[in-house]
Amino acid sequence: MDQRGILIVVSGFAGTGKGTIMKRLLQSYADSYALSVSMTTRAPRPGEQEGVEYFFTDRRAFEEKIADGGLIEYASYCGNYYGTPREYVERQMEAGKDVILEIEVQGALQVKKKFPGTVLMFVMPPSARTLYDRIRGRGTETDEVIGARMRRAVEECEYIPRYDYILVNDDLEACVEQMHHIIQSEKMSTARNAAFIEEIARELRAL
Ligand code: ADP
Ligand code: 5GP
């Protein structure tokens, strides 16, 4: 069977719980998945560490990285650049890890275009009110930033039908298990296993 890992994109409105889900998934299935660490021009939040949540950088260095072809995709979101460094993703896929990109909608569509086999998942909150309560409860953004992100969430709704799956983050553990099952099911699709199917057919003919 194909040992190369697959590419998975996880998107969702700010405050839905993407970061929390990713942490939990990686804790439970560290051997299966690799989480890409993005580059951003946004300032670190209290507690965020360089190279863990993001590689924090300025606009000039970010634009140099774009010019060098060092990013698989990038986008501007609420006034800052965010992008996916190419090298780590390629190395992990070669090593057989399924690589998860936790990125916003414009980047997600760029990745799907470049790599059509990418699985796109959109994490939904159980309700709009819950989303608002979660982002406020996190306490890491000003009211102004929360307002910009909620307005962006309205725009992002237009893109959701272009995703392959939605997940509802109500019970965290249930959501993490669903994500894992969807990925594992995708890996067993006939389309992804054409070479293996052909190999068995060849062996049968030779028997
Ligand atoms: P995102 O990465 O999507 O912006 P976070 O992972 O930072 O969101 O989550 C936003 C807030 O919601 C955090 O305070 C987190 O603890 C909380 N949260 C995440 N998932 C759940 C859940 N299933 N139930 C309740 N609270 C949650
Ligand atoms: P935050 O500032 O809350 O960490 O992230 C803001 C948004 O940027 C989220 O929707 C997150 O998924 C997205 N994002 C994070 N990294 C990347 C990236 O490398 N590329 C793109 N296109 N979006 C990203």
- pLDDT of res. 2: 62
- pLDDT of res. 143: 94
- pLDDT of res. 144: 94
Residue 103 CA to ligand 2 center (angstroms) comes to 4
- Paired tokens of 121: 């998942």
pLDDT higher than threshold 70 for residue 1: no
Cβ of 156 below 6 Å from ligand 2: no
pLDDT, average across residues 121-132: 97
Closest-approaching ligand to the CA atom of 149: 2
Q: Do 148 and 135 touch, CB atoms closer than 8 A?
A: no
pLDDT higher than threshold 90 for residue 3: no
- Paired tokens of 141: 């953004």
**Percent of the residues in the chain that have a pLDDT greater than 90, as a whole number:** 97
Parallel, antiparallel, or unpaired: how do β-strands 165-168 and 119-124 relate?
A: parallel
| Ligand 2 pocket test, candidate residues 23, 39, 40, most atoms within 8 A of CB | 40
**Which residues fall within 8 angstroms of residue 182, CB to CB, at 6 or more apart?**
119, 121, 165, 167
How many whole angstroms separate alpha carbon 190 and alpha carbon 207?
23
How many whole angstroms separate alpha carbon 100 and alpha carbon 21?
12
pLDDT, average across residues 123-134: 97
pLDDT, average across residues 141-159: 95
- pLDDT of res. 97: 95
Mean pLDDT over each residue of the chain, to the nearest integer: 96
What residues pair up with 120 in beta bridges, in sequence order?
9
Closest-approaching ligand to the CA atom of 159: 2
Neighbours of 56 (CB within 10 A): 16
pLDDT, average across residues 130-136: 96
Q: What is the pLDDT of residues 12-63, one digit of tens each?
A: 999 999 999 999 999 999 999 999 999 999 999 999 999 999 999 999 999 9
pLDDT, average across residues 113-134: 97
| Ligand 2 pocket test, candidate residues 77, 112, 150, 152, most atoms within 8 A of CB | 77
Cβ of 118 below 6 Å from ligand 2: no
Q: What are phi and psi of 182, to 5 degrees?
A: -60, -45
**Which residues fall within 8 angstroms of residue 5, CB to CB, at 6 or more apart?**
34, 92, 93, 94, 95, 96, 97, 98, 99
Closest-approaching ligand to the CA atom of 76: 2
Cβ of 108 below 6 Å from ligand 2: no
Residue 130 CA to ligand 1 center (angstroms) comes to 10
Cβ of 75 below 6 Å from ligand 2: yes
Question: Which ligand 1 atom sits nearest the alpha carbon of residue 20?
Answer: 6
